[in-house]
Amino acid sequence: MQPKSPEQEVDRPYLTDLIRKALDRPELQIADWKVNPLHGGFEWDSAVFRFHGEALDGRETVAWSLILKHVKPTEKASDPGGIWYWKREALAYKSGMLHQLPGGNVTAPACYEVQERPDGTVWMWLEDIKDDISSPWSLEQYGVIARHLGQFNGAYLVGKAFPSEPWITRNWLRMYVENAQKAIAFIHGNLKHPLIQRMYPGIVLAQILSLWDERDRILAVLDRLPQVFCHQDAFRRNLFVRGGQTIAIDWGYMGIAPVGAELVALVAASLGFWEIPADRVKELDRLCFEGYLQGLRDAGWKGDPKLVRTGYAVSLLLRYPIGGNTGELIPVFLDREKRSKLEGAFENKSADELEKADPAVIAYYQGVLPESMKLLGMTGMLRLVGRIGLYSLRINTGKKK
């Protein structure tokens, strides 16, 4: 017998209690409801549902809606300090910390209940957040969001203590990059594979392999930067605007990271999910960086902007080209079942389309690479240039490592 899905397990009394709590109407009675599945988490084994309907409070008819996030434990996500710890977000909601964030302009949806189920899964009943403003956002709005994130992150640069819970991740980017090891080995053994050729055209492949080889030195530079507590996945699909505040969902990556790293998802993931035109990404980069820096200033930090730019640009090159495209997507593209799930996460895009590198996105990264090399210093720049040249020669002559 198949286990019941969450929408099958929820009954009227249970849902009524939740709606009463959410709307602060103790006499309310549910009249009817519907359930719509939303996209589930790609990294976590999760599913998301919107419960909505009407209720009666005396003679008044009241519309209501709630979000149920249903998360299952997996071996991959079992380490409390790891990349994908499956209970991190639920524990954060239970602790109350997401509604006491510094800066005053970043918060999370209201959480009405976190329930650990008999089957070992966790349910999070959350406020159904909707934007106050129309979509698509203007680039200027992204700049406002960046300022809010800077105010939030900046508090930890001027004395705010980091969260000490064991499920707060502290080496997220390092672990995410190292997760690419098997995919890198596949690349070395299959330099002419059609998938690799589509994903890494021209000199891109040599650059990817060079960044991988230099990862420890690059990560050491990031470790020496001022550190902040941050969301780490704050991009358009995880962000809403309400009452002038930024409401962020999907807090599963939250942890300690270099100042500036918070911007990586805001710019690059919003670009990667086609939330902004690719030909305007440089303008987005500028507006977000300026907004974030102003947010840090609002928080009272008066440090060198170069440190912030290093945190952004250097983290960017490791996070998506290595950790994301290589570490996560190559195994997915090579697995038929996972390819299908990926297509569900990227609406209206086939896996074949997703495999092919976007020239506009490549152009942006190619612009960030020399900037990052300069920020790494002369020695780091020369090492990367040398490796890229050697890999280009090896790839063009067809030699394996």
**Is it the case that residue 186 has pLDDT exceeding 60?**
yes
pLDDT > 70: percent of the chain: 95
**Whether 266 contacts 142, CB under 8 Å:** yes
Rounded Cα gap, residues 282 and 280, in angstroms:
6
Q: Name the E strands within 45-142.
A: 46-57, 60-71, 106-107, 111-116, 122-127
Rounded Cα gap, residues 121 and 73, in angstroms:
6
- The pLDDT assigned to 189 comes to 95
What is the rounded average pLDDT for all residues in the chain? Answer: 92
Q: How many Cβ atoms sit within 10 Å of the Cβ of residue 318?
A: 25
Positions of CATH 3.30.200 in the chain: 6-127
| pLDDT band for position 128 (cuts 50, 70, 90) | very high
Residue 312 parent element (H or E): helix 305-318
Contact residues for 258 (Cβ-Cβ < 8 A; gap 6+): 222, 223, 225, 226, 227, 228, 310, 311, 315
| pLDDT band for position 40 (cuts 50, 70, 90) | low
- The pLDDT assigned to 219 comes to 97
Torsion of CA 288, 294, 296, 300, to 10 degrees: 180
Nearest to 219 by CA among 170, 173, 264, 265: 173
- The pLDDT assigned to 399 comes to 60
Distance from chain centroid for Cα 221: 22
**Is it the case that residue 400 has pLDDT exceeding 60?**
no
- The pLDDT assigned to 42 comes to 53
Condensed to tens digits (0 to 9), the pLDDT of residues 79-123 reads 999 999 999 999 999 999 999 999 999 999 999 999 999 999 999
29, amino acid identity: Q
- The pLDDT assigned to 162 comes to 97
- The pLDDT assigned to 71 comes to 94
Condensed to tens digits (0 to 9), the pLDDT of residues 229-240 reads 999 999 999 999
Condensed to tens digits (0 to 9), the pLDDT of residues 348-380 reads 678 788 888 888 889 999 999 999 999 988 888
Q: What is the mean pLDDT of residues 134-157?
A: 97
**Is it the case that residue 401 has pLDDT exceeding 60?**
no
- The pLDDT assigned to 324 comes to 94
For the 6-127 domain, the top CATH level (class) is alpha beta
Nearest to 33 by CA among 17, 47, 54: 54
Nearest to 316 by CA among 361, 347, 353, 360: 361
Tell me which architecture the domain covering 139-397 has in CATH: Alpha-Beta Complex (3.90)
Condensed to tens digits (0 to 9), the pLDDT of residues 51-63 reads 999 999 999 999 9
Condensed to tens digits (0 to 9), the pLDDT of residues 80-91 reads 999 999 999 999
**Is it the case that residue 272 has pLDDT exceeding 80?**
yes
For the chain, the C-alpha Rg in angstroms (whole number) is 22
**Is it the case that residue 321 has pLDDT exceeding 50?**
yes
Positions of CATH 3.90.1200 in the chain: 139-397
- The pLDDT assigned to 1 comes to 40
- The pLDDT assigned to 9 comes to 86
